[in-house]
């Protein structure tokens, strides 16, 4: 949907640029930009990554939601596309993958349907669809959050339906699925020899022993953890795992042979959606940027001018940082959903991008986290956007116009967050404008990023109650959605009266939104929103299957699909498709097609509009109390 506003991000010839390498004399980056490729299929939604080595070649398989998966070759420092979309049969949705090396088969599962698709890797560069492995009747109607191969068995994390497994034949075919007597809403799995680590949404982390013949699991220990269950990474060279816990950060957990023990925590400012370990390197990846932590015991002695401590006093040193989105500053959209180490490198799926990063534990966190876009009403005298220094080095920032005029310059101190405020009069109304921000380490240019500013037309030119897109200071137009299973759908109005809240629009099949939605669900359940609330507005009806899967019972949610709503509810709204026609600010770069989130005060007025989510560490200017730090 296009509102007719002019879209002018400047001449791309003058705006676009390549990633800026660190020049000699500057500190070396800890995360080194090697290669970034945008997945060429229409509307990619990239999810899990799997690396497969065959014939002396490293191959990368990338799950791509409704477009099955893609194949890339990890040649010398690059990402070579081999297959943009493998054959998916009648419907090839793929959000999780596992590989059985013995039979050279790859399995694809997804959150929507209970069966998996099996692909032969006889030619690993061109996987061939073999068969859809049907579920047993007891699994009809259920999807799979994660799958994992351990030995000759395939394990299924089925959320509120727990854990299941099936034997793998010599040709890769699956035997009957069996259920495990493991209590819990099982989300993520990681295999280790004769054991299986299992991350749950309600019981924390489980260690399971596996029968070497039957594959049957038995619970050995449990460790409660605070936060949503978003990812589980395993250091194959040790008895350690790392858990991504959304706005609660990441936790490293060790296994001593009988007990799971918490060994450390890291809390970067964002929503940790993915995490992995490789030796002394920890990747803690948020939706808006990736952090590299140096776990070496002598890290402070090795890099003496990089202090220890971080966003927590007892954190290990932060050795690297890369922000989400395109490395060309004109391509700001992105959402880091999955990451894994491979052969000393870090691989990330970033909504539409695949990224390959070198790892240098003696490096530094260069570059900044920046609010992607700032949306303001025409009556506001100033526009503002947030910037954050991810680490311990002071960095100098220069804010420029597209034409190169310097609008502001300042030094951002270690771990500092601040709002950059500019005179609104210099920005045209209804014209998105790119603001380049150049980042210097000493005198060396180390990053070239940008934000986008958009001022909404005046009320007379843009009546919000007719056209939507309320800006800060506007009242949020009341809409009515539905809640409940088919045949028992009740109307629910947004916003709730008298409650500050965040209104979140999403579609349940969008993997780029899962981390935000699950983080907000966890925060709502434990009362972590500090006197405010949230309303989760899904396009599709979540009842009854997803309400149980996501533990939504008793929480504020609704749906707006006109095909599923009773017509009398649809008729209550000025828009048939509220998000698409009224609330989606597609003119501004975002984490994905969603989100466009609205922060409201208790009177239902908009405080801020965000196209990204940072959990307990927001970066929009109104959230920064004095404009100079968290």
Cα 564 to its chain centre, rounded Å, is: 28
Cα 141 to its chain centre, rounded Å, is: 26
Q: Is the peptide bond before 627 cis (omega within 30 degrees of 0)?
A: no
Enumerate the domain spans of the chain: 226-365, 371-455
CA distance 364 to 318: 7
pLDDT at 305 (0 to 100): 84
- Domain 371-455 carries which CATH code? 2.60.40.2550
Q: Is the dihedral of CA 293, 299, 300, 306 positive or negative?
A: negative
CA distance 47 to 330: 23
* Phi, psi at 111, each rounded to 5°: -80, -10
Each residue of 615-624: pLDDT tens digit? 999 999 888 8
CA distance 243 to 328: 31
CA distance 263 to 544: 38
**Nearest CA among 607, 578, 609, 587 for reference residue 596:** 609
Altogether, the residues listed in the chain come to a count of 630
pLDDT at 288 (0 to 100): 97
E strand or H helix at 209:
strand 205-210
Using pLDDT thresholds of 50, 70 and 90, give the confidence band for residue 143. confident
pLDDT at 311 (0 to 100): 87
The mean pLDDT value for 166-190 works out to 93
pLDDT at 278 (0 to 100): 97
- Domain 226-365 carries which CATH code? 2.130.10.10
Task: Check: CB of residue 428 under 8 Å from CB of residue 455.
Answer: yes
Each residue of 169-178: pLDDT tens digit? 999 999 988 9
Each residue of 42-57: pLDDT tens digit? 999 999 999 999 999 9
Each residue of 312-338: pLDDT tens digit? 888 999 999 999 999 987 777 899 999
DSSP state letter for 77: T
pLDDT at 459 over 90: no
pLDDT at 139 (0 to 100): 59
Give the CA distances from residue 609 to residues 6, 368, 452, 571, 622, in Å, rounded to whole numbers and listed in that order: 20, 21, 13, 26, 10
Q: Is 454 left (phi over 0), alpha (psi -120 to 50) or beta?
A: beta
Q: Which residue has the higher pLDDT, 79 or 135?
A: 79
State the pTM of this model.
0.94
Using pLDDT thresholds of 50, 70 and 90, give the confidence band for residue 138. low
pLDDT at 582 (0 to 100): 97
**Nearest-10 Cα torsion for 407, 413, 418, 422:** -10
Each residue of 346-363: pLDDT tens digit? 999 999 999 999 999 999
pLDDT at 141 (0 to 100): 55
CA distance 11 to 521: 42
**Nearest-10 Cα torsion for 607, 613, 614, 616:** 60
Mean pLDDT estimate for the chain: 91
Q: Is 12 exposed, middle or buried (0-12, 13-18, 19+ CB in 10 A)?
A: exposed
- Least confident piece of the model among 130-139, 405-414, 446-455, 507-516: 130-139
pLDDT at 23 over 70: no
pLDDT at 180 (0 to 100): 84
Each residue of 393-449: pLDDT tens digit? 999 999 999 999 999 999 999 999 999 999 999 999 999 999 999 999 989 999 999
DSSP string for residues in 470-537: PPTTSBPPPEEEEESSTT--EEEEESPTT--EEEEEE-TT-HHHHHHHHHHHHHHHHT-STT-EEEEE
Each residue of 551-582: pLDDT tens digit? 999 999 999 999 999 999 999 999 999 999 99
């Amino acid at each position: 949907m296009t509102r007719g506003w002019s879209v002018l991000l400047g001449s791309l010839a003058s705006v676009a640029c390549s990633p800026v390498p660190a020049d000699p004399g500057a500190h070396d980056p800890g995360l080194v930009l090697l290669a970034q490729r945008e997945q060429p299929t229409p509307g990619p939604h990239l999810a899990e990554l799997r690396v497969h080595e065959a014939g002396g070649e490293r191959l990368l398989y990338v799950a791509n939601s409704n477009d099955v998966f893609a194949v890339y070759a990890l040649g010398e420092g690059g990402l070579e596309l081999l297959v943009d979309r493998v054959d998916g049969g009648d419907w090839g949705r793929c959000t999780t993958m596992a590989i059985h090396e013995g039979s050279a088969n790859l399995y694809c599962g997804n959150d929507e349907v209970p069966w998996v698709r099996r692909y032969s890797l006889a030619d690993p560069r061109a996987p061939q669809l073999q068969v859809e492995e049907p579920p047993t009747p007891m699994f009809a109607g259920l999807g799979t959050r994660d799958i994992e191969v351990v030995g000759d068995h395939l394990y299924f994390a089925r959320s509120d339906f727990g854990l299941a497994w099936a034997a793998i034949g010599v040709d890769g075919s699956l035997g009957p699925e069996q259920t495990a007597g493991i209590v819990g809403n099982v989300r993520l799995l990681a295999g280790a020899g004769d054991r299986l680590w299992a991350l749950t949404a309600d019981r924390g982390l489980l260690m399971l022993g596996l029968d070497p013949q039957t594959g049957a699991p038995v619970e050995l220990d449990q460790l409660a953890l605070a936060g949503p269950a978003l990812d589980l990474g395993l250091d194959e060279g040790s008895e350690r795992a790392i858990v991504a816990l959304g706005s609660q950060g990441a936790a490293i957990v060790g296994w001593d042979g009988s007990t799971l023990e918490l060994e450390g925590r890291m809390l970067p400012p964002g929503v940790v959606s993915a995490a992995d370990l490789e030796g002394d390197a920890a990747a803690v990846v948020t939706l808006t940027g990736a952090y590299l932590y140096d776990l070496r015991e002598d890290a402070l002695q090795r890099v003496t001018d990089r202090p220890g401590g971080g966003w927590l006093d007892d954190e290990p040193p932060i050795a690297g940082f890369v922000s989400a989105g395109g490395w060309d500053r004109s391509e700001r959209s992105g959402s880091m959903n999955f990451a894994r180490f491979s052969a000393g490198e870090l691989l990330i799926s970033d909504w539409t991008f695949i990224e390959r990063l070198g790892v240098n534990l003696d490096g530094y966190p260069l570059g900044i986290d920046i609010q992607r876009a700032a949306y303001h009403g025409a009556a506001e005298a100033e526009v503002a956007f947030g910037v954050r220094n991810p680490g311990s080095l002071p960095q100098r920032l220069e804010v420029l116009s597209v034409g190169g005029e310097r609008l502001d310059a300042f030094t951002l101190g270690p771990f500092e967050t601040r709002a950059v405020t500019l005179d609104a009069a210099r920005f045209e109304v209804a014209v998105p404008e790119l603001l380049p921000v150049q980042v210097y380490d000493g005198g060396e240019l180390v990053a070239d990023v940008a934000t986008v500013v958009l001022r909404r037309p005046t009320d007379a030119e843009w009546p919000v109650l007719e056209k939507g897109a309320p800006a800060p200071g506007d009242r949020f137009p009341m809409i009515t959605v539905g809640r409940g299973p088919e045949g028992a759908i009740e109307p629910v109005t947004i916003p709730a009266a008298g409650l500050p809240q965040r209104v979140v629009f999403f579609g349940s099949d969008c993997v780029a939104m899962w981390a935000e939605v699950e983080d907000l669900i966890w925060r709502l359940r434990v009362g972590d929103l500090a006197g405010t609330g949230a309303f989760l507005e899904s396009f599709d009806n979540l009842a009854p299957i997803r309400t149980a899967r996501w533990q939504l019972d008793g929480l504020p949610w609704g749906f707006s699909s006109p095909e599923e709503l009773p017509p009398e509810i649809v008729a209550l709204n000025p828009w048939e498709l509220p998000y698409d026609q009224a609330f989606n600010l597609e003119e501004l770069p975002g984490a994905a097609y969603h989100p466009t989130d609205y922060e409201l005060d208790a009177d239902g007025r908009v405080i801020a509009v965000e196209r990204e989510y940072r959990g307990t560490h927001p970066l929009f200017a109104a959230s920064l109390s004095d404009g100079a730090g968290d």
